A and B are shown apart, each in its own frame.
Chain A
Amino acid sequence: MKTESTLEKILASGHLAVTSECGPPRGAQPQKVREKAEMLRGVVDGVNVTDNQTAMVRMSSLAACIIIRQMGLNPILQMVSRDRNRLAMQSDIIGAYSHGIDTMLCLSGDHPKFGDHPMAAGVHDIDSVQMVEMVKNMRQEGRFQGGEKIDGPPQMFIGAAANPFADPFELRVARLAKKVKAGVDFIQTQCIYNVDKFEKWMQGVRDRGLHEQVYILAGITPMKSVGMARYMKNKVPGMDVPDELVKRMGGVPKEKQAEEGIKICLETIERLKGVEGVRGFHLMAIEWEHKVPEIVERAGLLPRPVEQANPQVGTGNA
């Protein structure tokens, strides 16, 4: 084991891991964080806490992570390269680890253009691949990015994102390989609606043996309505929603569309369970967190393993 991360232990023990996410509130409302996180207790192995997602100002991921950690849950600190330079990143990583936050996700982040501060400068001092490498060196070498020794290096279990659906498709496995080379431990993918294309990507991943070097959690987002399906299809960059799905959502009456969305998501999970190299699921129920327990249960992923169950089973990450 590289870290004390619960997520790592569960993945290493060979269980299908389940993570979900909690978007911090747009104001000083710690109780909102607690409410959202409480719904996920006993249901997931890690709670991603987004970092100013869609470039909108929210409570900092670090602060919300601390709140969640204090509740005895396992937060996953998301960090985007858009808002911080390497000094700020490293100090926050040390700070997070000092609060018992041992798992993080390195991202480049949505461009400021999409958020509520389009006039802001994007920092982009380093990119997500370089961030992975920096965090790995903080852990493995005990050194800051600038080369100095760290007195008490943070032992982060390092995640990153992968989007199998963006262009150019032929680069998508190679980009994952770059992250693996940089030292990433686990991957959470973009929401999967086009399962055929995802399987094609996984084939490429397996052909290069990358699935044995990194844990891949398949990203799942239930659709609430046909409107959401259309929005995801047409407005969200890098999202691949097949026409059949939009048609299927539109084919049921409005009041039954939410249930249809959940059915689709359960079918997707079921199919992905059979895909070699998929080691778990990342459920992004956008403003629909209360549905996560139901989805996890209906997907047959409950109960969650107790983390200490198999503490010394393999590293799984050779």
Chain B
Amino acid sequence: MNRPPVTDWTADFDHLDPTFVADPYPIYEQLRTDCPIAHTDRYHGVWIPTRYEDLAAIAHDHHHFSSRTILVTDRPESPHDLGFHAPPITEDPPYHTDIRRLLLPVFSPKVVADYEPITRAMANDLIDGFITDGGCDAATDFAQHVPIKVITRMLGIPDSDHAQFRDWIHRLIEESPIAGDATFEAIFEIGGYLAGHVDQHRTSPRDDIITHLLEARMPDGRPLTDEEILGVCILLLLAGIDTTWSAIGSSLLHLATNPDDRRRLRDEPDLINSATEEFLRVFAPVTMAREVIEDTEVGGCPMRKGDRLLLPFPSGNRDPEIFDRPDNVVLDREANRHFAFGVGIHRCLGSNLARMELRVALQTWLERIPEFTLTDPDAVTWSAGQVRGPRTLPFAFTAG
């Protein structure tokens, strides 16, 4: 796929352009200043609002902005029209409200707290696997596996298929703008894989999310359909892995390359909670999308039914109108209304879980590997698409 390089970001934005993938933040800064609601003709036409207040207003307005399109692709159809339903994230009220209520208890703070010791043990096991080597790829040997191990355990499926998950995530979330049919083939492959596991749970119920979904009832008393159960499982598997992997990787990269913050977080462990929020603000991985379902206007820009938008929460999180020193990592930042997890009715269902995973991964890493460095800055690679995080992180440390 040959796409011409972007020369004018205000009129020809492309979130897959290599310059943007390498470092999106100066581009967002330029857009917030020069053209806060940009438009590109690429990908069948997409609006790109970049200021915090505009992003918040759109995310809160589900009457005009539908979640039927949450991935911007090179297909003219909405993902919905191609059969991609991953409720609740791809749905609108009132259906969204009902099915989301079934899932909220599974990710409540109390349930997440129960998973903390398990997550800590998993992180320690991963570190045991490479600590004697004096180095590792922190993205693929560590960051990736923490969320895979946790979400597969919660769902009730084996974590041994992680290479397959990674391939699906890559095709669906990272390559989707240019992958064409491969994106939607990935969805059906995941569905087929999960269907077998759902059938097993039907005959032998367990204490996990798949069993919870099989036993759940909508407000009118009906059970979920097979399609609904598979759609939810696809969401949890995909959204639960790529995002947290990215946040853990970005945070570790910052600590590897900023010795003052690394030492401070080690010497002042009570800072971990505010530091976790700050990493989520500065390195927010997720950009969402919406589709206009009723003509409206934002910041003087007329938006017509059928128009698509990207919602780059990472840009809002660095808006100087909201955040002091927005590009700096301030480990003890006090006021931090970031929206790494979005805002409004689609607030990330797994935000409590993701926060716990990120905090525990960082705590465990710093306890076991207090000093570490990035061996080759040029070797770091970044995912493209609507989830951003490092995919190669060569680290060195003293073998333990």
Are A and B genuine complex partners?
no
Residues of chain A whose beta carbon lies under 8 Å from any beta carbon of chain B:
none
Residues of chain B whose beta carbon lies under 8 Å from any beta carbon of chain A:
none
